Structure 1
Amino acid sequence: MPYAAQHLAQAPTRAEVDSLTGIALLEFGTPWCGHCQRAQPLIEQALNDRPDVAHVKVEDGPGQRLGRSFGVKLWPTLVLMRDGQEVARVVRPQDARAMAQLLGAGPAG
């Protein structure tokens, strides 16, 4: 699944996320967040070579249960999941290396 430029209209439930199969990258943030905007090229570039990774872009904020269930405090927070289990995360990635290390935690297979 390619990079998702837009946040989902409605966030999935925690049960839906926990039941995902394969590798998924949850991205928590908002469209207006400067840190989120600066991270977009890094995220897009990293996902270009990883068609096996589902990109789930979730708008976060007060009262958003999914972000709270993952303990999200800063944006963007990227959580790498394998078969519904968190395997790695990065908060506010600053460079391509941070993204490569994150995605390296969930190789195909």
Structure 2
Amino acid sequence: MAMQREYTADAPAREDVDALPGATVVEFGTNWCGHCTAAQPLIAGAFASHANVRHFKVEDGPGRRLGRSYRVKLWPTLVLLRNGEEVTRLVRPTAQQAVDDALAMIDPEESL
């Protein structure tokens, strides 16, 4: 699975995310957010070693149901799930190692 490059307004329903098997990252933010843009090289670098992790980049903001269901307050927020259950989350990551460590928690087939 490839890392998604742009945030999209087409968010899956929470019930669909909860039903996903395996490792999934739901990343909340916007394409115009400076913190989101700054974090992208760190996130991309970490995903290079976790190609089998599903990745959704969801545009967030007021009234966006999926972000509200995860109580997202700051961008980017990465919610890391295993079999639909939240394992951990990262808010405004500033180091690739933090993203690597979080992905390792949900990805049993990591190729580090």
TM over 0.5: yes
Within a 5 Å distance, the mapping from 1:10-89 to structure 2 comes to: 10-89=10-89
Note the residue ranges of structure 2 that are not aligned, 5 or more in a row: none
Amino acid aligned to 2:88: A
> Identity, % of aligned pairs?
52
Whole-angstrom distance in 2 between the partners of 1:108 and 1:2? 17
Residues 52 and 108, structure 1, Cα contact 8 Å, conserved in 2: no
Residues 39 and 94, structure 2, Cα contact 8 Å, conserved in 1: yes
Count of aligned positions: 109
Whole-angstrom distance in 1 between the partners of 2:30 and 2:7? 8
Residues 50 and 107, structure 2, Cα contact 8 Å, conserved in 1: no
TM normalised by structure 1 equals: 0.95
Partner of 1:96: 96
TM normalised by structure 2 equals: 0.93
Whole-angstrom distance in 2 between the partners of 1:31 and 1:8? 9
Q: Which SS does the other structure have where 2:5 is aligned?
A: coil
Q: Which SS does the other structure have where 1:86 is aligned?
A: strand
1:57-87 per-residue CA deviation (whole Å, 9 max, x = no partner) reads 1000000010000010000000100011000
Cα RMSD, aligned residues only: 1.0
Amino acid aligned to 1:56: F
Which one is further off, 25-34 or 8-17?
8-17
- Deviation, 1:97, is 1.2
Residues 77 and 90, structure 2, Cα contact 8 Å, conserved in 1: yes
